[in-house]
Amino acid sequence: MGWSGGPQIFSIKLIVLALSLYIVSGQAAEKRNLPQKISTNNYSTITDEATYFHLLKEADSLTFKNEFEAEILLLLDDDLKERYLNLPTLQDKKEFIIFFWKVQNPNPLLEQNDRLLDHLQRRLYARKNFPADTPPYYDDRGKYYVKYGKPFFRYRDRGGLRKINSLVTPTFSHYSVLPNETWSYVNVRPNFVVNFAQKGSVYKEIKSLKDIIVGNRRRGRLIWYWSDLMKNRFWMSPLYNDAVTTIIDVENTILSTIARSPLLSSRNFIIRDNDIRFNTRRLEDELYSSLSFTDSETRRASTDIPVAVYTPVRAKSKLPIKENIAQFKNPDGLTRLEITLYSPMKKFLNRAVSIHQDSIFVEFSSLLRNKMYSTVDENRLKKKYAARDAIDWHLPETVGYLTLKAPPDSLDFFAQVKNERNGKVGFLQKSLKVKDFSGKNLMVSDLQFYTTIEEEQQKAILPWLEINGLTLAPYPFKKIHKSTPFYCYFEVYNLKSGGVTDEYEITYKVYNDKSSTSLFKKLTKWIGGEKERSISITQTQPVLEDMSQELIALDLSNLPNGHYRLEVIVADTKNPSIQASVWREFRLEN
């Protein structure tokens, strides 16, 4: 037996690629820092993204067909394969492959495409350990390795003559088999099992385990040989285990029959083909039916699987990360996204040194990508500061603040935090609807929470900015602390063009978010007669410009702990129908 207990594997969804979405080759490594030095090694030893794409672009027709096309076809589903094969030119096919890998990238904030990196590592291993003389230069075992990675279980059999291991003793106790292997990917599907047999210098996939049996394949003997092969592989899948259970039940039935019949009792009792002393045909039929069922169900299980899966190499999210995104109107007509990222401070501490000697090295990054898989905007922030300062200020999180700009659209948002000391990362991805502030109606931006910077040391720890003469930082806690100054910032757009004439009212409401309160707590409050507490403040302001920046300090110290919603309503004092509102939920604690 070979490998066992493989790593967790994640499926990558293959999407239908319309020809209109193809990009030019030069955009494959867009806005990412790829190695500048291109390896001149042969195609079997490609280990990095830059070398792969360089050799792909330079490949002539024959080299492309042998080194790239034969391999990429393994990774395409039927629809994508048909689209690819219908492409008219070599350049079109190269661009298809470049775009294919771009779609597969699970985290574009990493320096290299992690899915492609995993593929190159598998490719290198397959060519070395399962070599073949024809493209893609590895045998059928290598094809499965490239598509699905290391098998969860692997059984290797050198072949040759062996004795049947059975509770009963057939006269035909020895048989021969070809060198063979059985691979199990129970981490992909519970009954995903593949069998291979050596044919010449390579291993070929076979439909049934019985195909490795050499010599006499008479049914009466075949089922016992086949059963013996299954016993050695009972742990490969639930189906295999069930088949072996049936085999043992049949053998026990034979032993039980012997034990009940004085005529059959003998220490040297031997099973023969079509034994007339009891109904061997019925037992053979039962065994054959069970083994055939296992074969057919195993093949059926292999039809309902992803065309390929990948094992993360560096795209392993080992650091917790949370985000808050607030959207604002930008002067250039785009939308400005202010992104606050949080990750636990303890994940960045070096336990090998004193807290007074330790430093925090952290990089925050974020990226927006459109449906064409092109980067819309990207930003990074690196910070280094003394760990003792963060501890002195009781900061449980490292905090990053980034801004991105984008046109109104449905985009993919990526964020990442990286411990620069050990290279560990945490990342997230979500679909994001970028708001459109280009209209003429009264509008309000999202709400952004800030706290004040009171000491110069805090500027080294927290990102900061100046608003209305105050030095502020994104609120450094995921929950609102009653003891920490709390400011709410937002912007109002189209006051004049939206129909507000002289004055407008801003109403701030803070009230309990009942949707986030458990049923037990609701009942406890009701039985105890506790009233829901809230805050409501209204202020009137004159219209001076078409746009207004608003910053308010909120004192929530009198509210009990719990989930709340802050709602801001902006309305014309003379015509309340002209109004806009926005809200944000938060949790309040001491």
% of the chain beyond a pLDDT of 90? 71
User: Which of these, 168, 146, 137, 159, lies nearest to 229 by C-alpha position?
Assistant: 159
pLDDT in tens, 338-386: 999 999 999 999 988 888 899 999 999 999 999 999 999 999 999 999 9
Among 37-41, 151-155, 319-323, 532-536, the minimum mean pLDDT is found in: 37-41
Chain centre to alpha carbon of residue 520 = 35
- In the prediction, which pLDDT does 457 show? 85
Best-predicted range by mean pLDDT (16-30, 423-437, 520-534): 423-437
Read off the amino acid at residue 488: C
Whether the predicted pLDDT of 25 surpasses 60: no
Chain centre to alpha carbon of residue 248 = 42
pLDDT in tens, 277-289: 445 677 778 888 9
- Joined together, the tokens standing for residue 373 give 């898989």
Mean local confidence (pLDDT), 212-238: 91
Residue 100 burial by CB count (10 A; 0-12/13-18/19+): exposed, middle or buried?
buried
C-alpha 263/C-alpha 265 separation (Å) is 6
Residue pair 466/452 in contact (Cβ under 8 Å)? The answer is no
Residue 403 burial by CB count (10 A; 0-12/13-18/19+): exposed, middle or buried?
middle
- Burial of 488-507, coded b for 16+ CB within 10 Å and e otherwise, reads bbbbbbbbeebebeeebbbe
Whether the predicted pLDDT of 72 surpasses 90: yes
Residue 60 burial by CB count (10 A; 0-12/13-18/19+): exposed, middle or buried?
exposed
C-alpha 571/C-alpha 245 separation (Å) is 75
**pTM (two decimals):** 0.82
C-alpha 290/C-alpha 246 separation (Å) is 7
Whether the predicted pLDDT of 291 surpasses 70: yes
Mean local confidence (pLDDT), 298-322: 93
C-alpha 177/C-alpha 21 separation (Å) is 51
Whether the predicted pLDDT of 272 surpasses 80: no
- In the prediction, which pLDDT does 488 show? 96
- Joined together, the tokens standing for residue 120 give 């190159």
Instruction: Count other Cβ atoms within 10 Å, centred on residue 31.
Output: 12
Domain 317-435: CATH class, spelled out: mainly beta
Mean local confidence (pLDDT), 198-203: 96
Q: Which pLDDT band, with edges at 50, 70 and 90, does 276 fall under? A: very low
C-alpha 540/C-alpha 527 separation (Å) is 39
- In the prediction, which pLDDT does 356 show? 86
- In the prediction, which pLDDT does 266 show? 45
Q: Which pLDDT band, with edges at 50, 70 and 90, does 1 fall under? A: very low
Specify whether the backbone of 19 is left (phi greater than 0), alpha (psi in -120 to 50) or beta: alpha
pLDDT in tens, 435-472: 999 999 999 999 999 999 988 888 889 999 999 889 99
Domain 439-590: CATH class, spelled out: mainly beta
Residues of the chain with CATH 2.60.40.2550: 317-435, 439-590
- In the prediction, which pLDDT does 532 show? 54
Q: Beta partners for 403?
A: 338
Contacts of 519 (CB under 8 A, 6+ apart): none
Q: In which element (H, E) is residue 92 found?
A: helix 90-104
Whether the predicted pLDDT of 313 surpasses 60: yes
- In the prediction, which pLDDT does 33 show? 41
- In the prediction, which pLDDT does 271 show? 54
C-alpha 501/C-alpha 492 separation (Å) is 14
User: Which of these, 41, 73, 66, 72, lies nearest to 54 by C-alpha position?
Assistant: 41
Whether the predicted pLDDT of 571 surpasses 60: yes
- In the prediction, which pLDDT does 260 show? 67
- In the prediction, which pLDDT does 517 show? 54
Q: What backbone phi and psi angles, to 5 degrees, belong to 46?
A: -65, 125
Whether the predicted pLDDT of 38 surpasses 60: no
Whether the predicted pLDDT of 526 surpasses 70: no
Residue pair 23/374 in contact (Cβ under 8 Å)? The answer is yes
- In the prediction, which pLDDT does 280 show? 61
Q: Which pLDDT band, with edges at 50, 70 and 90, does 234 fall under? A: very high
- In the prediction, which pLDDT does 244 show? 95
Mean local confidence (pLDDT), 15-26: 33
pLDDT in tens, 132-149: 999 999 999 999 999 999
